[in-house]
Amino acid sequence: MDVAYLRAHPEHLPAFLTHQRIRETPVAGGDICTASRLTLEDGHSLFTKAWPERSTRPRPDDFFATEAAGLRWLREAGSVPVPEVLVALPDLLALDWVEPGEPTREAAAAFGHDLAGLHRAGAPAFGAEWTGFIGALPQDNTPDPGPWPDWFARSRLLPYLRMSVDRDALDPSGAALVEQLVDRIGEFGGDEPPARVHGDLWPGNLLWGADGRVWLVDPAAHGGHRETDLAQLALFGGPPHLDRIMAAYREAWPPADGWRERVPLHQLHLLLVHTALFGPAYADAVVSTARAALSGVRRATVDG
């Protein structure tokens, strides 16, 4: 099997793997899936993801189809590098292999510029035409014309707040703080038409390639607010050379006035996903971020 054969017959990949006709090397694949590097007969390498056979959680329907749709949609923008999807089957996803490299300031600057280009490609609505997932959790991608604050509260904050409360990951006072923020979301400003966003752009989903470029992987792609991608980049310590990424982005397409005060609001989505997935270990981060967001909107209201 070579890459040309695989493009023509993607459905044959599982049979070749079962009969050990392809060299397979396990690699790191995140918290959800098992991952491997495959080497084809022509020397071409692939990155594959599969649902763990012994997982206690059943694989959600359309899980890999959703990721493939998001990758292809981001790749269509022709801006930030995105690996080509070669195989998208119910139990398996295979992408073109990207050789890892070292982070550089030059790559960071190019990525910031290219990320602005990706966002400018836009989306027909908030949400998407495909099923949504964020990690292993469902995410409502029902297309919505907006405005953005109402959509963000309804589809990106409240569902994960409810999950977090139901799983005892947030106590009543923490939940009340988030609800207070949701009630005031219209005061934050920054409403914009939907951008083409990665949707889960924490630093672990940037792949610094040996080709000197930054690649996007593991998206929860949809039409959303570009500031959400930018805010998520700063979570969990941020990527290398974040200052260069942001400077290049601002040169290419400056965010709207008040964007710094809105960073905690945009970060709250992914932090609530973490409490819903992993429990109270992230509760303090949710509470402190909600407080910071409310403090920011109060300052904006006073300054205005």
pLDDT range class, residue 304, cuts 50, 70, 90: very low
Question: Which range is least confidently modeled, 50-59, 268-277, 286-295?
Answer: 50-59
CB atoms < 10 A from the CB of 11, how many? 10
Q: What is the pTM of this model?
A: 0.94
CATH code of the domain containing 49:
3.30.200.20
Q: Which domain holds residue 34?
A: 3-96
pLDDT reported for residue 16: 84
pLDDT average, residue stretch 215-241: 97
pLDDT average, residue stretch 196-219: 97
In a domain, 245, yes or no: no
In a domain, 115, yes or no: no
150 and 266 co-located in one domain: yes
pLDDT range class, residue 28, cuts 50, 70, 90: confident
CB atoms < 10 A from the CB of 88, how many? 18
H helix or E strand, kind and range, residue 144: none
- Checking if the pLDDT of 77 tops 70, the result is yes
Which of the 8 DSSP states describes residue 209?
A: B
Which of the 8 DSSP states describes residue 78?
A: S
Cβ(180)–Cβ(167) under 8 Å?
no
270 and 160 co-located in one domain: yes
For the chain, how many structural domains are there in total?
Answer: 2
297 and 198 co-located in one domain: yes
Cβ neighbours for 128, distance < 8 A, ≥ 6 positions apart: 69, 70, 73, 141, 143, 221, 222, 223
